[in-house]
Chains A and B, each alone.
Chain A
Amino acid sequence: MSMRRRLFVSFGIGVVLMLGVTGLRSIARAQAPAAPVEPAATTAPPPTPVAAAPAAVPDPTGDNTGTASDVVVKDAKAPKLDEVMSTVGHSKIAINLMWTLLTGFLVMFMQAGFALVETGFCRAKNAAHTMSMNFMIYPIGMLGYWICGFAVQMGGVGGVAVLGGTPPLNSEFVVNLFGHPFGLFGMKGFFLNADVYDVGVFALFLFQMVFMDTTATIPTGAMAERWKWSSFLVYGFFISMFTYPLFANWVWGGGWLSQLGANFGLGHGHVDFAGSSVVHMVGGVAALAGAMVLGPRIGKYTKEGKPVAIPGHHIPMALLGTFILAFGWFGFNPGSTLAGGDLRIAVVATNTMLAGTGGAIAAMIYMMTRFGKPDPSMMANGMLAGLVAITAPCAFVTAPVAVLIGTVAGVLVCWSVFFVEGTLKVDDPVGAISVHGVNGAWGVLSLGLFADGVYGEGWNGVPGKVTGLFYGAPKQFLAQCIGTLTCFVFVFASMWVFFKLVDVILGNRVSVETELAGLDLPEVGALAYPEFVLSPGSSVGAFEAPKPLPAPSPAPAAATARVEAL
């Protein structure tokens, strides 16, 4: 068995498929321990350890693959209970670890979704720049998270039982206020060094890292088409090392928001299953602070302050990105059980897709009713809004409620886009503030309203199941409100101060010339579409155009100029 395992490690994709099979096998085995001796006795051919190979009988149905002979015991004729149990336990954790890694891989792919959505909603002259930000935030964020972000977030989480215990993560910085401990940040796991060299910890790192990177890539959309590359780089480290890990510690790392229940009797404390607040609202609020400090794109508002539409250059790209995100969400939410053996994943995954549907349809109907046409960019925002909103409550609500939460999100995102643009006068080219910020808040609040009290036994160390206001637990809703408010105040304040400081030291915004010409060449040194004929509406070419033509003869010169202009 152990030799076969070593082989598995060396085969990238093979590992996934084969352990999937092992997983199924162990489920079958889990039913066995009641009569551990029987299977061995009934197996006709003697289950000698070496005998398996020479038989060479294929098993096309799989019925005979994965039998008692796969459980390694010292004496096959007299297997001991603890031998069998340790195999069962190992398989159980293996399923969970595999599930956590696989869903983490799906979430990683959401980076591609974000890149496509944001780039599609930008103009062609900024496409390489927007894409590059979305590309580089992945390694930059990861580096920052590896240095200290993970330690700050999860260093004191304690034992994550479903991943086999993660014993090394046992150091949380705590202050005592009002006679209760307030966990503020973790202190173990910097650089994933030797004292956390543990499979469970590494799996947790991978999974939490891709979540952090989702947050980090949200503001690149709201701040696109005018954000200076150097400022973006500093931002990437700041959010992955400090802002995100701190708030995530308070909710997921055993910090004070998660203990509101244990310490103050507010339900189960602030509950956020997969990150409506921790991931999306943090990203959306950071996007708001950043876009406010940056100011709107040139030409976004008329002199009277009326918003002007600046249509994205590639709607199919944006819609493809939305689909990739919706697919990635099957990792995001169901993966947040960290346990493939927690069968609630079926409910989580189904609720997730239902809410996305509610959001897309609601936004489409709203836009059609109000403007006559569905507007693909708002359909995409609507689906994402539904997915963002269901991220916190996905494990705690019924299917009709999931559709309702998504539907509300789909309308909310439309209102919010108009409000942010028309009233706040904040220019958000992709709707990131509305999709992630506003609907992140709606997500955690909706959990406090609709949690139906059938799941989440002992959540955050509080006995009982997670129950919302409409199911008789108003204090849970209060905890959700405190979490939402904390998220807004903390993230907005820290990101606002950060961006203001960067403004003084480095500058956040590109020059007017660069913005008009497009950021592609001046900021990242490559055009997205070198042979693209740019629309006359954009100011690209403003640098080149004034060059006088050689003008060989007066009449044809005018004709030539016209042809070139077209």
Chain B
Amino acid sequence: MKKIEAIVRPHLLEAVKNALQEVGVVGMTVSEVKGFGRQKGHTETYRGSEYKVELVPKVKIEVALPEELAEGAVDAVLKTAKTGKFGDGKVFVSSLEDVVRIRTGEHGEQAL
């Protein structure tokens, strides 16, 4: 099993979510997050003074899925979340040791 965490632009959430569902993802967790990458945010002016917007708002999508779906899911995110400009975000893929469905107590892929 794999866990995919995709950090994307907030306004692209809908597109990424739909693309993930198309490749067979059946559940996800979405949270509003803030962060920065290599660009370290950007500067704005407020009442004539500059200030840095270091922590830029993003959306984090967390998906747990069987091994064989992982590649397709990453592709789906890349296709929909990419604008080609700085700030498109990142996708983290990691191995998942176990999943437990709380209602039934099932473990592993059955619980996905």
| Known contacts A535-B55, A536-B55, A537-B55; A311/B46 CB under 8 A | yes
Chain A residues, Cβ within 8 Å of B60: 566
Q: Taking CB as reference atom, which chain B residue is nearest A307?
A: B49
Asked if B50 and A309 make an inter-chain contact with CB atoms under 8 angstroms apart, the answer reads yes
Asked if B55 and A371 make an inter-chain contact with CB atoms under 8 angstroms apart, the answer reads no
Chain B residues, Cβ within 8 Å of A309: 44-47, 49-51
| Known contacts A566-B31, A566-B33; A431/B47 CB under 8 A | yes
Q: Taking CB as reference atom, which chain A residue is nearest B33?
A: A566
Chain B residues, Cβ within 8 Å of A213: none
Query: Cβ of A95 < 8 Å from any Cβ of B?
Result: no
Asked if B47 and A375 make an inter-chain contact with CB atoms under 8 angstroms apart, the answer reads yes
Output the residue of B31, B48, B60 with the most chain A CB within 10 A: B48
Q: Which residues from 504 to 559 on chain A have a C-beta closer than 8 Å to any C-beta of chain B?
A: 535-537
Output the residue of A309, A377, A422, A431 with the most chain B CB within 10 A: A309
Which B residues lie at the A interface, using CB under 8 A?
Answer: 31, 33-34, 44-51, 54-55, 60
Chain B residues, Cβ within 8 Å of A417: 47-48
Asked if B47 and A378 make an inter-chain contact with CB atoms under 8 angstroms apart, the answer reads yes
A176 to chain B, nearest CB (A): 49
Chain A residues, Cβ within 8 Å of B34: 535-536, 566
A288 to B79, CA, bound (A): 56
A308 to B51, CA, bound (A): 7
Asked if A373 and B45 make an inter-chain contact with CB atoms under 8 angstroms apart, the answer reads yes
B25 to chain A, nearest CB (A): 21
Chain B residues, Cβ within 8 Å of A272: none
Q: Taking CB as reference atom, which chain B residue is nearest A370?
A: B48
Query: Cβ of A421 < 8 Å from any Cβ of B?
Result: yes
A431 to B60, CA, bound (A): 38
A453 to B44, CA, bound (A): 47
Chain A residues, Cβ within 8 Å of B33: 566
Report the interface size for chain A: residues with CB under 8 A from the other chain.
Answer: 21
Beyond the given A421-B47, A431-B47, could you list 17 further A-B residue pairs with CB under 8 A, ordered by the A residue number?
A307-B49, A308-B49, A309-B45, A309-B46, A309-B47, A370-B48, A371-B48, A373-B45, A375-B46, A377-B47, A414-B48, A417-B48, A422-B48, A535-B55, A536-B34, A566-B33, A566-B60
| Known contacts A373-B45, A375-B46; A311/B31 CB under 8 A | no
Query: Cβ of A173 < 8 Å from any Cβ of B?
Result: no
Q: List 24 A-B contacts (CB under 8 A).
A: A309-B44, A309-B45, A309-B46, A309-B47, A309-B50, A309-B51, A310-B51, A311-B46, A371-B45, A371-B48, A375-B46, A378-B47, A378-B48, A414-B48, A421-B48, A422-B48, A431-B47, A535-B34, A535-B55, A536-B34, A537-B54, A537-B55, A566-B31, A566-B60
Q: Taking CB as reference atom, which chain B residue is nearest A372?
A: B45
Asked if A311 and B48 make an inter-chain contact with CB atoms under 8 angstroms apart, the answer reads no
Listed from nearest, the 7 A-B pairs whose CB atoms lie closest are: A309-B51, A309-B46, A309-B49, A371-B45, A307-B49, A311-B46, A566-B33
A421 to B55, CA, bound (A): 25
A310 to B44, CA, bound (A): 11
Chain A residues, Cβ within 8 Å of B45: 309, 371, 373, 375
A297 to chain B, nearest CB (A): 13
Query: Cβ of A470 < 8 Å from any Cβ of B?
Result: no
Output the residue of B45, B50, B60 with the most chain A CB within 10 A: B45
Contact with B along A242-281 (1 / 0, CB 8 A): 0000000000000000000000000000000000000000
Q: Which residues from 428 to 451 on chain A have a C-beta closer than 8 Å to any C-beta of chain B?
A: 431
Asked if B49 and A421 make an inter-chain contact with CB atoms under 8 angstroms apart, the answer reads yes
Output the residue of B34, B49, B54 with the most chain A CB within 10 A: B49
Chain B residues, Cβ within 8 Å of A375: 45-47
Contact with B along A5-21 (1 / 0, CB 8 A): 00000000000000000
A342 to chain B, nearest CB (A): 39
Chain A residues, Cβ within 8 Å of B55: 535-537
Q: Taking CB as reference atom, which chain B residue is nearest A311?
A: B46
A313 to chain B, nearest CB (A): 12
